[in-house]
Amino acid sequence: MSMFSFSSDAQAQPFKGEKIDPDVTTGHLHHLSQDQQAAFSVFKDILAKARLYAHDGPRPTHDDPTLLRFLRARRFDPQKALKQFADSEAWRQKHAVDALYATFPPDEFESARRFYPRWTGRRDKNGLPVYVYRLASLAGPLQKELNAVPPERRYQRIVSLYETMTRFVLRLCTHLPHRTAPTPISSVTTIIDLEQVSLPALWSLRAHLQEASALATANYPETLGTIAVVNSPAFFPTVWGWIKPWFDEGTRRKVHVLGKDPGPTLRTLIDPEDLPKPYGGELDWKFEDEPALDEAAKGVLGEMPKGPAVFEDGEVRRPQAPSETADAVAQSSS
């Protein structure tokens, strides 16, 4: 998901630029200012005192990119970041997220991908994974299928797909060669395609979209990089007025709304061979397709794994339920 930028009063105004050049290093590992580094140290200390973080085992309970996402989301205020992090950890416990992801049926997991942003298997010029969300693909029978899923299970599907993004896709892209290495990749670039989407169709999807965005803002902060809305209809400013409150100010600044010819602008961010043909690139890929891995990713993965997976130490692994993780740690330390 002409170009527009959005002002605080939710009105879209023409934007004359032709280039998307996001800042993907400020506030990230290896690019912290002295004040940011000091805040990061304080954040780790207060998390440890609150027993929300430990680094004395075989590996820390949470990696630095994850901690920095929460800190950036709260503008490097350690106490505010602590509150969001603690709330998120309580949420993970309440919903048994680790166990959910480890035991999610692979067939259902693969089926659930059809309803949410999908990774193309490619990356932008900064190494961020490129996701596409074509809302028209959710029309008709697919929307009826989505609506038939019980709300609790639909929520669990969204959680599992976010876990894949943070524990597999972002870690894989960090491992692959990228322009800002060794700075980790901790967010995604998303193309939202509104072609052939009517106002009633968008309205019918509002609860579905709001549920996913609220979950991400609270529990997977700072994972959204550039958001390019393509093939935007004339009524989009009205829609933006609905959805703007779902996002924090930082995310709203990342939204670029493009017209019917997004290619010239998108190619400033994504190389043609990594940009799908419908959006002005050369990649033979559409929303319904599996990820079309680039050569670097193929060299590491061979092929895209099916079902829940994590990427650790340069390898694809199946997620472990909490009891399995504890057993593995005990064995490694014995």
Locate tokens 């980790």: which residue?
184
- What's the pLDDT score for residue 2? 31
Amino acid at 95: H
- Three-class SS state of 305: coil
Render the burial of 44-66: b for 16+ CB within 10 Å, e for the rest.
bebbeeeebbeeeeeeeebebbb
> Encoding tokens for residue 194?
């509104």
pLDDT value for 113:
94
What span, in angstroms and rounded, lies between the C-alpha atoms of 84 and 274?
A: 35
How confident is the model at residue 324, as a pLDDT? 55
Taken in order 320, 311, 23, 298, the sign of the CA dihedral is: negative
Summarised one tens digit per residue, pLDDT across range 81-114 is 999 999 999 999 999 999 999 999 999 999 999 9
Q: How far is CA 277 from the centre of its chain?
A: 22
Question: Tens digit of pLDDT for each residue in 284-304?
Answer: 999 999 999 999 999 999 999
Show the low-confidence residues of the chain (pLDDT under 50): 1-16, 325-334
Residue indicated by tokens 């890929």: 285
Instruction: Please give the Cα distance from 172 to 159 (Å, whole number).
Output: 19
| pLDDT (0 to 100) of residue 201 | 79
Closest CA to 207 of 255, 258, 134, 158: 158
* Whole-number pLDDT of residue 328: 43
With a pLDDT cut of 70, the percent of the chain lying above it is 91
pLDDT tens-digit map of 14-26 = 344 579 999 999 9
What is the pLDDT, as a whole number, of residue 13?
36
> Does an H or E element contain 121, and which?
strand 118-123
Q: Could you say which DSSP state residue 283 is in?
A: B
198 neighbors 228 (Cβ within 8 angstroms)? no
State how beta strands 12-15 and 310-312 pair: unpaired
